[in-house]
Copies of this chain bind each other. A is one copy, B any other.
Amino acid sequence: MSTSLIDNGVNVEALLGAREALAAAPEAAQFHWRARCEWVNGTHSRTTVHDFSGLGAEHTHRERFTFEGDHPEVFASEDHGATPAEIVLAALASCLTAGIAAVATNRGVQLRSVTCTVEADHDVRGILGADPDVRNGFNGVLVHYTIDADASREDIEAIVAQSQKRSAVYDILTNPTAVTVDVN
């Protein structure tokens, strides 16, 4: 099956070209993502994403993307935004879904629809300090895809597995990352 017959809106040729080019130029592959956060009031904050560097240059997004974070009313907050925990789930879903579109295109599979639900179990005794044996983060996360595509169930499962294998956010959740927090 030729990829030229399908159109998922992914430029796979450019990605394959980037893979080849960056394998030979590792310094260009070093990206620096940035976010700026401002406390609004209570547990409400506003984070903006605008510029990043990579390919040896500075770049700006086409627009400034803004994220409102807050806690819900059941935590005695004002619910002006999603919880940080839910924002993590949005990151995971968007990463895996982009990967599914890219891998499907590379394999000549036309997608018609891709949806997923993400669920995270979270024992909030950790963040409340109610039990030192309970971790602060999730106990586990389940991502459940429903995909309509011109492919067998086995091929669809293999596309999802390959997206998972190359997902930045899946890796960030399942493996440790060093995070340094300091004060100016």
Contacts and interface: CB of A to CB of B under 8 A. Distances in A.
A128 B140 CA distance: 27
Contact of A39 (B45, B114, B121, B124): B114
Interface in A27-45: 29-39, 41-45
A127 to B, nearest CB: 5
Contact of A125 (B29, B68, B73, B169): B29
Interface in A71-103: 71-79, 81-98, 100-102
A interface, over-half SS: mixed
Contacts of A114: 38-39, 45
Interface in A135-184: 135-147, 153, 156-157, 160-161, 164, 166-184
Interface residues of A, number: 130
B172 A127 contact: no
B174 A174 contact: no
A147 to B, nearest CB: 6
Given A75-B15, A88-B169, A98 B113 contact: no
A145 B181 contact: yes
Contacts of A177: 137-138, 140-141, 173-174
